[in-house]
Amino acid sequence: MTTHFRLIFTTCADVSEARSIAEQLVKLKLAACVNILPNVESVYMWQGEVAYATECKLLIKTKSEKMNELIQTIKQLHSYEIPEIQVIDVATGNLAYFNWMDEVLN
C-alpha cells in the first residue's frame, strides 16, 4: 500500500515556539497532528564551530499536496535562520488513521 502522506521533521528553539508552530499548522489544516518532543539534545556545525543546543523536535503529519505550503509556513514562523525541515514518505500504516487524516485535512 503506497500512501500520499508525509512525515515532516523540524526542530525549534523551545517549547513555546514548538507549540506556536504546531498550533498554526493544525489551525491552517496543513497538519493533521504534530507531536512535540521536548529536550532533544542537538550537536551540529554552525559557522565553523561545533554547537550544542537543547531543542524541541516536531513530528508533523500531513498529506503530500499540503507539503509545500506547510514548508513555507514553517520557514515564515520559525526563529532559526536555517530551520531543519526533512520530509519522509509514509509507505504504509494504519488505514483508519490515514482516513482520519484525510477527513481532518479536507
- Indicate the SS3 state at residue 10: strand
Report, as an integer, the average pLDDT of 18-40: 98
Which tens digit of pLDDT belongs to each residue from 48-105? 999 999 999 999 999 999 999 999 999 999 999 999 999 999 999 999 999 999 999 9
Per-residue pLDDT for 46 more than 80? Answer: yes
- Structurally, how many domains does the chain consist of? 1
CATH number at 91 reads 3.30.70.120
Region for 71 from its dihedrals, namely left if φ exceeds 0, alpha if ψ lies in -120 to 50, beta otherwise:
alpha
For 84, the domain range is 5-104
